Structure 1
Amino acid sequence: MKYYPALILFVFLASCGNENKETSKQYFDIKGYFSKEVKKLQKQNPVISKTVLQNGQSEARSIMLDNWEAELELFSASDINKPAWKNSYQVINTGNIKEYISKDKQLKTRKISIESYRGTIKHITILNASQNMLYSSEEQLDYYPDSLYSIKKRQTVRIMGTNSYSIFARFKN
């Protein structure tokens, strides 16, 4: 009988923990998805054909990357599963595409679009934007698992002007 209050407390704490886990992953887990991709790519160690274009100058080469976590950091950083953003995104399902669209223009990640087929992700597009009086930035991130990824970024700093770059990387088979 003296263990009864401890049992009630344990059940209460366990149920609170499960509820927090469910609400913290309200939207697609971008961070978790790209963490798995990083582990997979570190293990596979694929050769990629990578082209970098910055302000009209381009460079292309075939390489093997040592740090996939750094390479895909912009994708992982677009995680929208913050408790404060619980109701900040509208979720739209259209056929094989699920979109998360920001209701608040102050949030950096404005849109995530995930195309899947039979439970397998085929394409992820992420649109990020931020601005203030001195700075504006726009990013479009595209990821096709085991195929290619691209990053297009445009930054405008009031005093320094506009800087744009893009990265296009194709996995070689």
Structure 2
Amino acid sequence: MKSSIIILVMLTLLIACKEEKTSFINKYFDLKTTISNQINILNTKKPSFNKTVWSNNIPETKLIKIEDWSKELELFVQTDLNKPAYLNSYDISQSDSTIVYTLKAKENLPVKMVKIYLQKGAFTALEATITNENYLYETNKHIKMTLANGVVDYYLIEGTQKLVFGDKKAFKIEAKAQK
């Protein structure tokens, strides 16, 4: 009898824990799903992009077809604010055409700002600032993405990185869809 009560209690707790996990509602714009949808579209369409990488302030541009868009746009997925640890960490400013999330002063999270551009309620562009600091390095990144006809047509990743025993180095990657 006692063992069946214990099993019943354990099952009830398990179900309650599972319900708690699935009941998390997105407080912020759902960038994870939005960017994942773009990754699926790009992986299907396989568009060509003119991609420019700056090394030592010298640009090198190549026309490429990106094979793994999930890897290419990983940093954009990381800007999603709908993580339990991020809940209530951002001030929200909204208009008909933009939503701006700014990290509150007392918070210490890597995503400092996200600005989402909308046209008639549809996602059209994104800007974000991300910083990471620890004892070994410091990185600052600014990213942008724009869509044309509902598909990514431009993205930019630029910033600086400084290792504890090195100089600050700038980096920049820019890609534009070939028309």
- TM-score for the superposition, normalised by structure 1: 0.84
Q: How many residues align?
A: 159
Aligned twin of 2:160: 154
Asked if the contact 2:89/2:107 (under 8 Å) is kept, the reply is: no
Aligned twin of 2:60: 59
Asked if the contact 2:96/2:118 (under 8 Å) is kept, the reply is: no
Asked if the contact 1:108/1:129 (under 8 Å) is kept, the reply is: yes
Q: C-alpha separation between the residues in 2 aligned to 1:106 and 1:17?
A: 26
For residues 63-105 of structure 1, the C-alpha deviation after alignment (integer angstroms, 9 at most, x for no partner) is: 1110000000110112211112211011111341101111145
Q: C-alpha separation between the residues in 1 aligned to 2:143 and 2:42?
A: 18
Aligned twin of 1:3: none
Gaps of at least 5 residues in structure 1 are: 1-8
Residues 18-29 of structure 1: pairs in structure 2 closer than 5 A: 20-22=23-25, 25-29=26-30
Asked if the contact 2:54/2:173 (under 8 Å) is kept, the reply is: yes
Q: Tell me how far 1:147 sits from its aligned partner.
A: 2.0
Quick one: which of 101, 110, 113 aligns to 1:111? 113
Q: Tell me how far 1:157 sits from its aligned partner.
A: 1.3
Q: C-alpha separation between the residues in 1 aligned to 2:153 and 2:38?
A: 12
Q: C-alpha separation between the residues in 2 aligned to 1:130 and 1:143?
A: 21
* 1:92 and 2:93 aligned: yes
Asked if the contact 2:158/2:173 (under 8 Å) is kept, the reply is: yes
Gaps of at least 5 residues in structure 2 are: 1-11
Aligned twin of 1:123: 125
Asked if the contact 1:89/1:101 (under 8 Å) is kept, the reply is: yes
Q: Tell me how far 1:17 sits from its aligned partner.
A: 5.5
The percentage of counterpart residues that share the same residue type is 25
Aligned twin of 2:103: 102
Cα RMSD of the aligned pairs, angstroms, is: 2.0
Q: Which amino acid aligns with 2:142?
A: Q
**SS in structure 2 opposite 1:147?**
strand
Q: C-alpha separation between the residues in 1 aligned to 2:134 and 2:24?
A: 34
**SS in structure 2 opposite 1:43?**
helix
